């Protein structure tokens, strides 16, 4: 696609297809107090269903009413985080027009809208619910960030969170698992905010993705098999539960599992940063690397052990 095509598409997308029909129909159904200019800003990486639900809440409508008002045909039933709302390109234009947000901005924020193909924009404005597998489900967004972007109408939103946005450093909340219907407060574990900032710095490193993927696999395995950092991680989990008792009562999984990514986060970031540096150039012996990593993780020692995933990673990348 040429630059001209891109610009033309962006320009076309920012003009609502049928502004008078869309906005008039929606406002006809909205109560007078809610009418007028209601710009509901999307959260970064927000699920489409979450955004449309917040938009409906702002207009004091149910989601199906809002879509009907915007001339969008809805099929199926669902709710976040177990289902996602799939919009046709034309439906996305209608939502953008109603939300007073240029479509390119909306696509930038909502990862599932970004996948739409404008070539099929001749189709009708339609939406359908799609069930999501556990690994694809969004997590609860920071309640205070959500409230701020929802005109105080709601604190509930769901995001397809990128790996570097586990913790809201400003409001000290996190949702490490889609099964958590409330966020976890992290104020009792200040090292999580420090890890968040370290993670942002890590993103500038060219090998960040490989290093992060390896580090997360390694700390997850250590956690599940209770290796190396078990004592520290248990203490951290206890502090998180004391501040967020719903971790215990969520029921669908143990708190140790629900909070796993959060409990291991500081060490995952520290390990990823060390692995990113170690790979360039691979001049150290495996034992040198192990002692450097032990130091960075605040451990007295990490023994060479062929069954340890870290040892396997280090010896694999050296050859």
Residues near Zn ion (CB under 5 A) are 142, 144-145, 168, 170-171
Q: What's the token pair of residue 199?
A: 């993670």
Distance CA 309, CA 305 (A): 9
Nearer Cβ to Zn ion, position 54 or 273?
Answer: 54
Residue with nearest beta carbon to Zn ion: 142
The CA dihedral of 248, 265, 154, 252, to the nearest 10 degrees, is: -30
In the complex, minimum distance from the CB of residue 187 to Zn ion, in angstroms, rounded to a whole number: 13
Nearer Cβ to Zn ion, position 50 or 88?
Answer: 50
In the complex, minimum distance from the CB of residue 66 to Zn ion, in angstroms, rounded to a whole number: 25
In the complex, minimum distance from the CB of residue 159 to Zn ion, in angstroms, rounded to a whole number: 11
Nearer Cβ to Zn ion, position 94 or 196?
Answer: 196
Q: Is 312 exposed, middle or buried (0-12, 13-18, 19+ CB in 10 A)?
A: middle
Nearer Cβ to Zn ion, position 168 or 269?
Answer: 168
- Is the CB of residue 250 less than 8 Å from the CB of residue 181? yes
In the complex, minimum distance from the CB of residue 146 to Zn ion, in angstroms, rounded to a whole number: 8
Identify the bridge partners of residue 74 per DSSP, sorted by sequence position: 127
Nearer Cβ to Zn ion, position 170 or 221?
Answer: 170
Pick from 51, 132, 41: nearest CA to 84: 132
Distance CA 260, CA 196 (A): 16
> Of how many residues is the chain composed?
319
Nearer Cβ to Zn ion, position 112 or 140?
Answer: 140
The CA dihedral of 61, 63, 65, 69, to the nearest 10 degrees, is: 100
Which strands make up the sheet holding 167-168, listed edge to edge?
A: 167-168, 173-174, 184-185
Q: Which residues contact 7 (CB under 8 A, 6 or more apart)?
A: none
**Residue that the structure tokens 């905010």 belong to:** 193
Identify the bridge partners of residue 83 per DSSP, sorted by sequence position: 131
Nearer Cβ to Zn ion, position 175 or 293?
Answer: 175
Rounded alpha-carbon distances, angstroms, from residue 12 to 8, 15, 85, 89, 118: 6, 5, 24, 12, 10
Nearer Cβ to Zn ion, position 149 or 216?
Answer: 149
φ, ψ for residue 129, nearest 5 deg:
-85, 140
- Is the CB of residue 176 less than 8 Å from the CB of residue 139? yes
């Amino acid at each position: 696609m040429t630059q001209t095509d891109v610009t033309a598409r962006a320009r076309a997308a920012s003009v609502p297809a049928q502004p008078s029909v869309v906005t008039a129909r929606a406002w006809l159904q909205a109560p007078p107090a809610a009418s007028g200019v209601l710009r509901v800003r999307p959260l970064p990486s927000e699920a489409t269903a979450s955004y449309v639900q917040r938009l409906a809440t702002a207009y004091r409508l149910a989601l199906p009413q809002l879509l009907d008002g915007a001339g969008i045909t809805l099929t199926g039933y669902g709710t976040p985080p177990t289902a996602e709302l799939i919009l046709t390109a034309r439906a996305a234009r209608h939502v953008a027009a109603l939300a007073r947000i240029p479509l390119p901005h909306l696509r930038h924020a909502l990862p599932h809208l970004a996948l739409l193909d404008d070539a099929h924009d001749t189709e009708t404005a339609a939406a359908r619910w799609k069930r999501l597998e556990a690994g694809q489900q969004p997590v609860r967004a920071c309640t205070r960030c959500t409230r701020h972007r929802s005109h105080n109408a709601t604190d509930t939103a769901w995001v397809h969170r990128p790996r570097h946005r586990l913790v809201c450093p400003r409001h000290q909340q996190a949702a490490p698992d889609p099964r958590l219907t409330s966020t976890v407060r992290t104020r009792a574990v200040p090292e999580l905010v420090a890890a968040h900032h370290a993670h942002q710095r890590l993103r500038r490193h060219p090998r960040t993705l490989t290093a992060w993927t390896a580090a997360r696999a390694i700390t997850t395995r250590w956690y599940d098999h209770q290796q190396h950092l078990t004592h520290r991680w248990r203490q951290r989990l206890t502090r998180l539960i004391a501040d967020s008792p719903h971790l215990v009562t969520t029921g669908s999984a143990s708190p140790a599992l629900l909070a796993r990514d959060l409990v291991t986060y500081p060490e995952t970031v520290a390990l990823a940063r060390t692995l990113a540096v170690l790979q360039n150039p691979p001049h150290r012996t495996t034992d040198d690397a192990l002692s450097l990593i032990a130091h960075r993780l605040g451990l007295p020692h990490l023994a060479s052990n062929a069954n340890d995933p870290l040892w396997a990673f280090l010896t694999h990348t050296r050859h």
